[in-house]
Amino acid sequence: MRPPRPVRIAPSILSADFARLGDEVKALEAGGADWIHVDVMDGRFVPNLTMGPPFVSSLHKQATRPLDCHLMMVEPERWVEPFARAGAHVITVHAEASPHLHRTLQSIRAAGCKAGVALNPHTPEDVVRYVLPLLDLVLVMSVNPGFGGQEFIPETLSKTAALRAMIDASGREIALEIDGGIKIGTARQAVQAGADVLVAGQAVFAGGQYGRAIEALRQDAAS
C-alpha cells in the first residue's frame, strides 16, 4: 500500500480582513498554514474584483510561506510577469481563459514560478493531459469561481479521482489542489479522492481561531 500523501492546507486570503493584512498573514502562519492562497479576480472572467500585483507584493513582504496565486482572469498570460515579480510562488491560470495554455505554462516557468492549471466545475480533466510535463499543480474548482463561502459541488470528486490517476500514471510530481467549499467532511472526501492541497476560506476564517480550524481540517483529511 502507498504511504499516505502529506496534505497541505492553503487558507484563502480572500476571506481575511484586508485592512489588517500583515496580522492576518502572521496569524495564518502561526496557525500552521502551509501556503497562502491568493484569489485574483478581474471582474470579467468572474463576477468579482479583488487584488492585483501590488497586493501580492505587500503580502510577500509579510509572508514566509509560499504565495499560491490563483488567477481568475481573462488573458492571464498578460499578467504572468507582474505577478512573478510581485513574489508569487505558484501561478495558476484557468484552462477556460487560456487558448494557448501550453505557451502560458512555459512562460510561468520561465518567470521562475511553479505552473498550475485550474479547471472550472464543468471542465473535463482531459484538458491537462498534453501539458502534464509543464505542470507543477492542477487545481480542481469545487465551486463556481468568484466568491468564498459557497457549497461544495460533489460531482468534482470523480474528476479529482481521475486527475489523481492521470498524475500517478505520469510519474510526475504534480500537486492536486481542490478549491471551494472545503470544510469538515468535504476535506476528507477530497483527500480520499486524491487531492493533496486543500484551499479553505470560510472554514478557516469564520470562527476566528485559525490554528484550531487548520488543525481540524488536517484531522478530517487524515480520517
**Residue 143 interacting partner from ligand DX5, Zn ion, none (CB closer than 5 to 8 Å by kind):** ligand DX5
The residue among 197, 184, 194, 200 whose CA lies nearest residue 89 is 197
The residue whose Cβ lies closest to Zn ion is: 70
Catalytic residue at 39? yes
12 binds ligand DX5 (CB under 6 A): yes
Kindly identify the residues of this chain, within the stretch 123-152, that bind ligand DX5 according to CB under 6 A. 143, 145-150
| Long-range Cβ contact pairs of 125-129 (< 8 A, separation 24 or more) | 125/159, 125/162, 125/163, 125/166, 127/95, 127/101, 128/95, 128/163, 128/166, 129/166
**Residue 121 interacting partner from Zn ion, ligand DX5, none (CB closer than 5 to 8 Å by kind):** none
Kindly identify the residues of this chain, within the stretch 54-93, that bind ligand DX5 according to CB under 6 A. 70
114 binds Zn ion (CB under 5 A): no
Q: How far lies 107's CA from each of 3, 104, 113, 210, in Å?
A: 34, 5, 9, 35
177 binds ligand DX5 (CB under 6 A): no
> Which helix (H) or strand (E) element contains residue 65?
none
Catalytic residue at 179? yes
Annotated catalytic residues are 39, 179
Contacting residues toward Zn ion, per CB under 5 A: 39, 70, 179
